[in-house]
Structure 1
Amino acid sequence: MDVTISNNSGQKAYFVLWGCTNLANTEELKKTARWCYYKLSSTSGDSVTATVTEFPDPGSGADDTLDWVPNLYTLEAGGSFTIKDAPYLYSGNATFSFGAAPKLFKIVHSWSNYSKKIRSPYFGGNGVQSPGFMPTDADADTIFASCEFTFQPEGSGNAVWADTTNVDYFCVPITISVTDTDSNSVSTGNLKTGKNRKDVFSAFTGLSSDATYSAFSKLVRTSGGSNIRIYAPGHGITSGTFSSTYFDAYIDEVWAYYDGSTDAKKLTVTVEGTFAGTYVGWVNAAGAFNFEGVGSFAKPTTQETFLCAGGPFPTANNKLAAVGARLGAAINRHVLEAHNKQPYCTTDDFYLIAPNNYYSKLLHDNLSAVYGFAYDDVCTGSSSPLLHVSNPSSVAIDLAAWAAS
């Protein structure tokens, strides 16, 4: 499989493609996995070779770190290159910084017990610190973004998983296209026709006087007159720019409605795939949404709902997590109380009533097949923001053009 990276952003890009040396989904595999990167023979031409190379150990001292910023590759505006026969890269991430290198990208020790100086048994006792995006981080005003890219064996062949996630923030448009050996192609992250980076920012700043959604305009971060990024609301809550109670009244209404007193006030959730089944639930006397044979889902906070994490959202991969994903999606889209059969997939009805995740709505207005929140792949069908392509022949990562901003 070949991988082509094209820089049409108009800015010089600093980048690294990094991930794990092997699948790390069990305790034992985590012990053998190592953080690594694609070591490239060049960043020009159509016959670049990539070697999966472990990041060096940061040093013997407890607080030693290894600054990797000087080792980032660069790609000039208008430049492109193709990696021929790319090797496997697990849990991969392509990190790009535009116009300037990030201030932070380093290899650090990871600890099981720092006070006793016991290093983690996983990933060789090391970790990777990529640029931070929050207002207190060193790279708060650096224009950078990443996309997720994994290439690994699947059955008797191989497969690619890729997405241009915006669940934390939007900064720049990146498009990933994957073509399989039968010449079928899919893509994610495309700007819609006639749209550019500045349009995405303008969609948010234009809400400053909106009677319903003005709060979302405060999610935009600028520096020196330049647009830097748009924070997802869950992170806006952390930084103090967005209300921590935004969804509370709606969640209270949903919990009060589904009391199980009639069939209409019981929620039916259908799950496909690994945990396929139809599960019925209602709010019990303890105030938890209980699904028979599955488990209970406590009332989430506004921030937990935006992040689809923490509180009642399970970290385990099980039936309750599958049900929770559909609840989270329905709350973010404001379609849970009105529809007692989930998932409800009439997209024209999403985001019509406040409160809703208007951040996600505006991203979808400007970009195709992207994540606006973690469970935004519920109901997406063939236009899923997560690409999964078996037997791929090529991947193209396009740092798309964006207007001066």
Structure 2
Amino acid sequence: MLASLTHRLLTAAAAATLLGALFTVGSAPAADAAVPETIPLQITNNSGRGEPVYVYTLGTSLTTGQQGWADADGTFHAWPAGGNPPTPAPDASIPGPAAGQSRTIRIPKLSGRIYFSYGQKLDFRLATGGLVQPAVQNPSDPNRNILFNWSEYTLNDAGLWLNSTQVDMFSAPYSVGVQRADGQVSTTGRLKAGGYNAVFDALRAQPGGWGGLVHTRSDGTVLRALSPLYAVETGALPATVMNDYIDRVWQRYATTTLTVAPFADQPNTRYFGRVSGGVMNFTNSSGAVVTSFQKPDASSVFGCHRLLDAPNDQVRGPISRTLCAGFNRSTLLSNANQPDTSSANFYQDGVTNHYARVIHDRMADGKAYAFAFDDVGHHESLVHDGDPQQAYLTLDPLS
């Protein structure tokens, strides 16, 4: 059963990818900043739910490359060896605060996730390649009927990057924050009043199968909305859901040039895309072809992978990130110069990533990580500081 979930392993490579993505939106820390080995994380339970809360700090040490977990004091513990089929992981849970209460723990220097669950501990397993993360799009996943969520973070000598994420699913709401050396606190990820239920209501009301993203437990508890990537992969959302927009993009750029300037600090670095023979070829300013893309499908668009793969390089990856953001936000037809970073232009086409549209619309500051490259143009829900004094994770109302 769990062996099929090994694609969810949190490997050192995945941690490095996360770190790289977070660094793209970070700023350099002060030269004399000294980030301690652990910093306090204040967890506040404003959920209004009475069940016990369990918290987990899991990730990869950026010093040793070991995968493991941290206890409430911030001490890192490497996972033992796993097996095939995966074996139960040691209980890494930390009792969280009761409703209306706060608890402060410490988080160490690593790249990983802070999970929290309501009413039941999460079931983690260890495969031969490392930790198996929950994959609730799989009907056999033991965590499928648990209400839970997670935040992603990296803490290293350059500071703290802490986000709220909806890349995989929209579920139990929370916001994140960081206190700076001057005492100011920066926060993000909080929904508008009533925003939690409003997201589910809007998805159910959206024609075209978007209501299929919503998962409800047998007791009536709404657990989550799956990302459209997983909804397409599981058949909950039609695989053709983006075809009309993709086709129109490919038709337009057979006769028009798509100009991509992927680096905000390098406006003169531009690439030029034209479709020929069903393939979008990108040339540089010298006219040389630097990379090409086959026409993507909905999975490639929603997942920013496969036919829109984004390697960690300086050419294809940045172009692909820009294309992915343009497809998800449906700005590729309205603007031949990308990225289009004005949120007023996002999601205006009838064929778009309605999951991302709905979530951004319900966020108090409009920020979210609703797809992998939602940070293009800085629309992601992320806090960062080079000299963090304290981090915050607030469990928000499920209403």
TM-score (norm 1): 0.80
| Separation in 2, partners of 1:402, 1:337 | 37
Aligned CA RMSD, in angstroms, stands at 2.2
* DSSP-derived class of the 2:108 partner: coil
- Contact 1:330-1:344 within 8 A present in 2 as well: yes
Amino acid at match of 1:307: G
The match for 2:126 is: 107
User: Which residue pairs with 1:21 in the alignment?
Assistant: 61
Letter in 2 for 1:335: T
Structure 2 residue aligned with 1:343: 339
Match of 2:101 in 1: 79
**Which of 255, 271, 281 is the equivalent residue of 1:279?**
271
The partner residue of 1:95 within 115, 118, 126 is: 115
Larger Rg: 1
**CA distance in structure 2 between the partners assigned to 1:100 and 1:64 by the alignment:** 20
Gaps of 5+ in 1: 24-31, 41-48, 111-126
**Cα deviation, residue 307, structure 1:** 1.0
Pairwise CA distance, 1:396? 0.5
Structure 1 residues 244, 63: CA separation in 2 closer, same or farther (over 3 Å shift)? closer
The residue aligned with 2:16 is none
Deviation of the 1:254 alpha carbon: 1.0
CA–CA distance in structure 1, aligned partners of residues 100 and 182 of structure 2: 29
Structure 1 position 290 matched with structure 2 position 311: no
Q: How does 1:34-45 map to 2 (within 5 A)?
A: 34-40=66-72
Aligned pair in 2 of structure 1 residues 371, 87: CA closer, same or farther (>3 Å)? closer
Distance 1:286 1:229 in 2: 37
Paired residue total? 349
**Residue of structure 1 equivalent to 2:153:** 149
Q: Deviations over 1:292-346 (max 9, x none)?
A: 3531122111111011111232333332111111111111111102211111123
Can you list the C-alpha shifts for 1:69-93, whole angstroms capped at 9, x where unaligned? x442222333322236x432x2121
Cross-structure match for 2:356:
360
SS at match of 2:369: coil
List alignment gaps of at least 5 residues for structure 2.
1-38
Stretch moving more, 354-363 or 307-316: 307-316
Q: Helix, strand or coil for the counterpart of 1:176?
A: strand
Following the alignment from structure 1 to structure 2, what is the Cα–Cα distance between the partners of residues 62 and 168?
Answer: 25
Of the candidates 247, 251, 258, which is equivalent to residue 267 of structure 1?
258
Partner of 1:128: 131
More strand by share: 1
Deviation at 1:138, TM superposition (A): 2.2
Where does residue 197 of structure 1 map in the other structure?
196
Name the aligned partner's letter for residue 199 of structure 2: V
TM-score, structure 2 as length reference: 0.81
Give the fraction of aligned pairs with identical amino acids, expressed as a percent. 27
The structure 2 residue matched to 1:394, chosen from 364, 383, 390, is 390
Separation in 1 of the partners of 2:264 and 2:348?
29
Deviations 1:342-382 (A, max 9, x none): 111232221121100010011012124211111111123xx
Pairwise CA distance, 1:22: 2.0
Going from structure 1 to structure 2, the CA distance change for 1:220 and 1:203 (only over 3 Å counts) comes to same
Q: 1:52 to 1:275 in 2, by over 3 A?
A: farther
Comparing 214-223 with 144-153, which one deviates more in the overlay? 214-223
